[in-house]
Structure 1
Amino acid sequence: MLNFDRDRYLSIQSGALRIADELHGLVGELLSSGVERVFFMGTGGVQFLTQPAIELATRYSTFPVSGQMPAQVVLAPPAGLNERALVVLPSLSGTTKESVELLSYLKSVGARTLSLTGHANTPLAQGADYNFTNFAEDDTSSEMFHLQSLLLVLSILDARGEIGNYNEIVAELQRLPGLLADAKAAFEDEAATLAETIRDETYHIFTGAGSAWPAAHYYGMCILEEMQWIRTRPVHASDFFHGTLELVEPGVSVFLLKGEDPYRPLAERVEKFVPRYTDRLRVIDTAKTDLPGISNTVRAMISPVVLASLLERLSAHLEVLREHPLTTRRYYKRVEY
């Protein structure tokens, strides 16, 4: 496999899941001590990675779990951002400018803070009330943040008695690192072929529904736009027929990411429409991924984790074929904004 270290990958994703017991206990204590709402506040793409867990919470629970943009919060905070709120701050670097500024603000209003970071000796890791650090880098962080935000929401649901199979779900999740590495290997040839096909294309529409939508948004904006300077148009599958369909014509590339949650029919509707007008429909479907020992219930929860794993293989080939490393930026870290 191109530029892939299996042992490193297994170590990082196993580490991401290793926090399950401690996080579960902490969440139970926080809810018992008066936490009445949870906000996920990540900056940029990392916030997309928490959205599937937030959506899961809204389907299973009446407990308030939502997402907010740090840069907006410090200008106009949401109602309930006080001592009865827990704010989750995911950040790979632990130094993200907007998130560090937000942390200072959160302390001033008395909100409790929990950071999820990839590096320990950083402002967000050291400054939050609670921290879980698991070393990771760009090519492994998507799965990590998906899994850790999922564990946090599952802990809320279990503490409130809104699911009865928490232990079984977590036991299945613990099997994932090896299964995801195998899934990457199985997808390698397809990823190489797809990268060769699209290497010179300059525009893609990305779409998906449910937990696959954040994956589509993330890959379009944070990988192809930021890391490859390729223009994309991410659009939720439910909105596809309210505007974006008019852009589909011969030669237009459409990437459809399909998950296995209840919103899959919205993706299937796009899949039926697009081939009538362009021959460049690219479908990545988690249902085709072999995950032995993973139940349908858990597969529905981890569709974005699987998509992140497969799409990383596409990125690995694209950066080589286009001679554009994923670390190359025009403006990132150069401009005050």
Structure 2
Amino acid sequence: MRTFRLGVLTGDGIGPEIVPAAVEVIDAAVAATDTAAVEWVPLPVGAAAIESHGDALPEVTVETLRGLDGWLLGPHDSAAYPEEHRRKLNPSGYLRKHFDLFANIRPAKAFDGTPALVPGMDLVVARENTEGFYTDRSTYRGTGEFMPTADVAIAMGIFTRPAIERIARQACELALRRRRHLTIVHKANVLRTTTGFFLEICREIAADYPQLEVDDFHIDAMTVHLVRRGADFDVLVTENMFGDILSDLTGELAGSLGIAPSINASHDRAMAQAAHGSAPDIAGRGLANPTAMIASGAMLLDWLGLPEVAERIDLGLRETVAQGIRTADLGGTASTTEFTAAVIKGLA
């Protein structure tokens, strides 16, 4: 039986509530399947790390992560950090860039019986995670934003063939395991050189997968199609900023950002991270929905080669919601701990 060593970075806001919930559920699911063992490695991050180590992402955290099989990252509230820390890359952005976690995979799947705006939605956004229009990740050192004068601000968007090829291939492989429909999202009618390049290379890669149905939409039109007929789509592949925006939209259309998980992965390591933020307005009140963080942990287990454990967690989440045990964002009254306890009970 293999033991997986996984980092635990609780983060800010609701992080100290939802990350421990994910740890509890994962422990219960692993014990129920008896296929592996997990050793948890707590590490400092966020506001607590600033207080204890003088940095939101201490060097000891980054170096320890290098030797682990993967990790759970809670949300961070970097906007609330002291000014000298706000000038740095936030913890999530730094880890994605430092470990070249190029694929941000964000599912959006409606739960039966919940007030989803698009019932039946079941899609995945495959977001390129290292360049594009997010300037904090588009240069080797520093950022791609600068001001040549006090009245001019410039941002660079970077698109490279190797980065586009690898996210396109990841998206094609994912679509192959799902409903075999790939949608490329771009803005090639205006941003012809950059997102036109993205579209061109994605189509080149998709040609290696004749089993797939492939189409494409402009980013603005895509938002409309998702609202009107989001259940018709399977895998969307797009650049960094478009993917971030679309995945927030699809998460809410599926019912709530509280159920929107994600994984950030390279070829040899992965980080589980809920798609939502730190929600400081409800932190410490027991109102947070831990589903996205728990489901992100399940995605990490699947990436590590434990699909039966991941499936058990997903089933446990869905059965709990189907029984009417729901947090406030899904129209229920269950607290974070009550919901987590119900999921664990269902795993036994």
Same fold (TM over 0.5): no
The structure richer in helix per residue is: 1
Higher relative contact order, chain-length normalized (CA < 8 Å, sep 6+): 2
The structure richer in strand per residue is: 2
**TM-score, normalization by structure 1:** 0.31
**TM-score, normalization by structure 2:** 0.30
